[in-house]
Amino acid sequence: MTRTELLVLDLAGTTVQDDGVVERAFALAHERTGIARGMPWPQALAHVRATMGQSKLDVFTHLGGGDVAAAARAATAFEDAYAELVAADGVQEVSGATQFLRDVAGRGIRVVLTTGFAPATRDVLVDALGWRDLVDGALSPADVGRGRPAPDLVLAAALRTQVSAISAVAAAGDTVSDVRSGLNAGAGLVVGVLTGAHDRPALEEAGAHLVLPDVTALLGHL
């Protein structure tokens, strides 16, 4: 079995508690921009839930019927709404996530955080949790080209940390898109966690090698 050299971790729903904040931010963005005016909101929300983990710009492009300019405005509105909700309610880690990051680093395994959020929102979360010095990097689709389920985030993390092989990479997330991104990149271990958007059957059907209760349970599998 290849030794794990790099762990690629999702943010919201995996290491950061979500508690419905992402869905609420999507709803506010729709209210402020009317991006999904071409479909009933329940239908739009179903698409949001199914595509959790993907680039927010890609999600809004679909909701807006391919109007890229409107999608960009909605993505900005989403990021603003998410920041407002976080400022009002605060941000909390998934229980035990900080100690987990310390334990992983203590084993000599590098960690890169990934997300479908824009870099500014991502950095607010990382800094609010005090994780800047606990990880080796944090990436958004804007940094690498394509969002999930494309392999770009995982591959970019592997390149930046100079792993010896892609099989030495483990990737974990709470969504089908997280799982597919890890598999598409060829990561040696792809893990789904049950603290976020998607349930065990969905993560297993997507092809996760393991499905665990939360990210801290991953330590014994690295």
- Spatial distance between the Cα atoms of 10 and 140, rounded to a whole number of angstroms: 10
Top-confidence residue, 207 or 196: 207
Query: What global pTM score does this model have?
Result: 0.84
Q: Would you state the pLDDT for residue 150? A: 94
What is residue 157's three-state secondary structure?
Answer: helix
Tell which wins on pLDDT, 43 or 38. Answer: 43
Low-confidence winner among 18-32, 146-160, 174-188 (lowest mean pLDDT): 18-32
Which of the four pLDDT bands, split at 50, 70 and 90, describes residue 11? very high
Give residue 1's pLDDT band: very low, low, confident or very high (50, 70, 90). low
Q: Does residue 172 contact residue 14 with C-beta atoms inside 8 Å?
A: yes
CATH number belonging to the domain at 6-17+92-221, selected among 3.40.50.300, 3.40.50.1000, 2.60.40.10, 3.40.50.920: 3.40.50.1000
Residue 191, pLDDT > 90, answer: yes
* pLDDT at residue 192 greater than cutoff 70: yes
Domain boundaries, the chain: 6-17+92-221, 21-89
Q: What is the average per-residue pLDDT within 139-155?
A: 92
Convert the pLDDT of each residue in 163-178 to its tens digit: 999 999 999 999 999 9
Q: What strands, in cross-sheet order, belong to the sheet with 110-114?
A: 137-139, 110-114, 6-10, 169-173, 189-193, 210-212
Kindly state the average pLDDT of the residues 101-121: 92
Can you list the alpha helix ranges (DSSP code H) found in the chain? Answer: 21-33, 41-50, 56-63, 68-89, 97-106, 119-128, 141-144, 152-161, 176-185, 200-206
Report the pLDDT value the prediction gives residue 106, as an integer from 0 to 100: 94
